[in-house]
Amino acid sequence: MRILRTPEERFADLPDFPYEPRYADVPDGLRMAYVVAGPADGEPVVLLHGEPSWSFLYRHVMPELAAAGLRAIAVDLVGFGRSDKPADQAEHTYARHVEWTRALLFDALGLSRVTVVGQDWGGLIGLRIAAEHPGSVARIVAANTGLPTGDIPMPEVWHRFRNAVLKAPALDIARLVQAGCRTELSKEVRAAYDAPFPDESYKAGPRVMPSLVPITPDDPAAPANRAAWQVLTTLERPFLVAFSDGDPITGGMAPILLKSISGTSGLRHPVIKGAGHFLQEDAGAELGRQIAAFVTST
């Protein structure tokens, strides 16, 4: 595996992101990065980002969790942020991303009673981890995400996004993030989203992730996702559905999760107003307050 590592100087002067990076080794000789906020003895809340962002996305969520006495742990997925980047798209598989993230959380960091928060690909990975390791998970938060099995068609807007990412001669990471936001990103914030990728050779992860989403019933990841659904539907863990009111990609998943997963029963599920796909960017503080209230009350 040919592995690229973004030079640290690329991450200088990140706006509103003062957290010192931490690192841990995971399988296949890779190093994953994460940042932490809040008391060391606080309940751990793991924040998993999606495509094509990184832990910087949670910079307005983390202070709210820390203020509530929780331990916020925002992870950079392999291929993103400060984490190592396999240069060959073929090295990225759904199963590997689940295993790399699992190894970080439970083997390297030794976490238990975790609240897993996932948005976009962070949910595709986090929901699998929660279903496959329920003894280590206390709660789950799904925010603009889902767990596709290929049995239900994806919306046309998602197919357009997938094709654009695969075929673009040069992948404009900041533009992709901006397209999923309701608010206008400053040039400093756009630069922060571009920072992990000095050139096109570093972008195998963002390039390939859309094509790893199961869109046909015979996709290699479909059986594992179906098995995860079977666990999640009856798992006795509080499950919060915290979607925005303006996400054309995953918005249709919210009612499915609420109807199918028993852990959603009896909870008040917020709709984050005025936010797009990247609700952490549009309404991060509000999302953080909703997560904190959920964790501290269940």
The DSSP annotation for 156-216 comes to HHHHHHHHHHHH-SS--HHHHHHHT-SSPPPHHHHHHHHTT-SSGGG-HHHHHHHHHS--S
CA nearest 104: which of 34, 41, 44?
34
Amino acid, single-letter form, for residue 190: R
Q: Before 63, cis peptide (omega within 30)? A: no
211 Rama sector, left if φ>0, alpha if ψ -120 to 50, beta otherwise:
alpha
Both tokens of residue 196? Answer: 């992990």
- What is the DSSP secondary structure assignment for residue 154, as one 8-state letter? P
- Which residue bears the tokens 């098995």? 227
Phi, psi of 23 (to 5 degrees): -135, 150
d(CA 83, CA 132): 24
pLDDT at position 169? 87
Q: Tell me whether residue 120 is one of the annotated catalytic residues.
A: yes
Does residue 166 carry a pLDDT above 90? no
End-to-end CA distance of the chain: 43
Task: Indicate if the alpha-carbon torsion angle 199, 108, 292, 20 is positive or negative.
Answer: negative
Q: How confident is the model at residue 168 (pLDDT cuts 50, 70, 90)?
A: confident
Both tokens of residue 14? Answer: 């990140």
Q: Quick check: 45 and 65 in contact, CB under 8 A?
A: yes
Q: Tell me whether residue 282 is one of the annotated catalytic residues.
A: no
Write down the catalytic residue from 76, 219, 247, 282.
Answer: 247
State whether residue 48 is helix, strand or coil: strand
Average pLDDT over residues 20-38: 98
Write down the catalytic residue from 60, 92, 97, 120.
Answer: 120
pLDDT at position 143? 98
pLDDT at position 69? 98
pLDDT at position 96? 98
pLDDT at position 21? 98
Both tokens of residue 149? Answer: 């099995």
Distances (CA, A) of 264 to 47, 188, 236, 241, 255: 19, 38, 9, 7, 11
Phi, psi of 181 (to 5 degrees): -120, 150
Q: Tell me whether residue 199 is one of the annotated catalytic residues.
A: no
pTM over 0.95? The answer is yes
Give the CA radius of gyration of the chain.
Answer: 17
